[in-house]
Amino acid sequence: MKVIKIHTPAKLNLGLRVLGRRPDDYHEILSLMLKVSLFDRITVDIGGKGLMVVCSDPGVPVGEDNLVYKAVRVFSREVKEVDGMEIEIEKRIPVAAGLGGGSSDAASILKVLKALFAPRLPEHKLREIAAQVGADVPFFLSPGAAWASGIGDELIPCRSRLPGSFVLVSPGVEISSAWAYSEWDRAGEKPPGSELTGDYPDNMITGIENEDWPEVLRNDLEPAAAGKYPVIREAKAMLSEAGARGVGMSGSGPVVFGVFSNPGQAEKAGKKLEGIRDSQVFIVKTVD
């Protein structure tokens, strides 16, 4: 029996623009995504019969609705049948929080499957499989930050210099992506400033270069989320008061984050925010 242990990182969306709903009911987006040092831990036992997924968080599905389970099944269908695997997920990334924990777990399992069972599989084929598992899964297959478009699966590496120190606040509520996008649909308006220049949102690039964080970090899903959960606005205000250069909500929320100039300032701010009722605070840095 072979045992493999892996750490899977969370992601942040530095800004999220929703451009519209597609005929297949997915949404076209633009976002700048990066990985941060908040990890789930996964143990993979190879051997035995069948596929079993277990998780430390009882709220996480462990059957066909689990993205890790789905990743193994799609790989088995598209590349090579995999039988005899037990996967244990130790959750540290908050669930339904806009941090992509499930997608990261699924991507890491796909990397393991490729290494063990199909080392010659082209990377583009692995990305195609990842896109079948979930829109955010391809992002976790590649290092570094990336501009995400399409449904989040069209990725271009980001060459801009980005901040490296963040404080995350998880307010203790869960928001499903489906609900967040349905609320955007219900609002019925395309947000201003979503224009494209070439492959990139020109105003976001300019915002990064000028450190115009309110422009860069704008999230079109935030108004509905903060309307339902005022704690999101409260957490952002506390991060600003703690010295953040900019504050934003990641993905469909509810996790919010503050951008800090260096690890020392992030550490100091994080300590100020510890003990917020029903919330978790994480001090993180970017990782590749």
Active centre residues (catalytic): 11, 136
Element (H, E) at 177: helix 177-187
- In order of 134, 154, 209, the CA distances from 206 in angstroms are 30, 21, 5
Task: Give the Cα separation of 230 and 210 in Å (integer).
Answer: 30
DSSP of 69-101 = HHHHHHHHHHT----SEEEEEE--SPTTSSS-H
Specify the DSSP class assigned to residue 245: S
For residue 214 the two structure tokens come to 């309110």
Give Cβ neighbours of residue 37 (< 8 Å, ≥ 6 apart).
Answer: 9, 284, 285, 286, 287
